[in-house]
Amino acid sequence: MNRHIIARIIVAVALCVAVRPLFANTLSVPPDKPAYTVDIPADWKPKVDKADKSVEATEPDNHVYMAGWVVDKSDIGELTGDVEALLKDSMKSIDEKSSEETIENNGIKFQVLKGSGVDKREGSKVKFFVAVFQAGPGKAGIYYVDYDADAPADVMKTIVTTMDSIKLKK
């Protein structure tokens, strides 16, 4: 083999390794009877929990945790409890100041509640948001994310890209 072929192979392998995080897994939420799908980077090791009817993922450097699930209209009262339990599990304290906004992507209107607090395990400042949207007749989709307040810009871009990937199943 000559040097040029070896050099091309090395460049090809390097490019494949560099773009690996771009490949995403499309996950259905809930896994058995999908109301929506979300694309999560494969290197975030997304997990499906059929018993909980949810999906979750953690960014490789632990800057971000995300989860998605669906609540039926008859269980909508549980939504507040679900989010409170999730925040209590991950946050040492939650700041009083929060904001709410409506975002529209892929024809879906998301009601987004944003806040911040202190991470229970790391003791560092974190931000979070909970996006709630209609995910079919009588169903609410929930997309929850908490992330380090000083997370790198590329991680923040992935959070936005992941939320932008949410699509309703018809």
Compute the radius of gyration of the chain from its Cα atoms: 18
User: Taking Cα atoms as reference points, which of 116, 127, 109, 117 lies closest to residue 163?
Assistant: 109
Domain hosting 52: range is 22-168
**Using CA atoms, how far apart are residues 43 and 128, in angstroms rounded to an integer?**
21
Q: Which residues of the chain have pLDDT under 70?
A: 1-23, 74, 76
Q: Is the pTM of this model over 0.85?
A: no
Position 4 in a domain = no
What is the tally of structural domains in the chain? 1
What is the per-residue pLDDT across 55-70, written as a single tens digit (0 to 9) for each?
Answer: 999 999 989 999 999 9
**What is the overall mean pLDDT for the chain?**
83
Instruction: Give the CATH number of the domain where residue 114 resides.
Output: 3.40.1000.10
Quick check: 50 and 32 in contact, CB under 8 A? yes
Q: Is residue 98 part of a domain?
A: yes
Q: Which pLDDT belongs to residue 1?
A: 52
* Cα separation, 143 vs 161, whole angstroms: 13
Supply the pLDDT for residue 71: 87
Smallest CA-to-CA distance from 138 within 75, 78, 52, 82 is with: 75
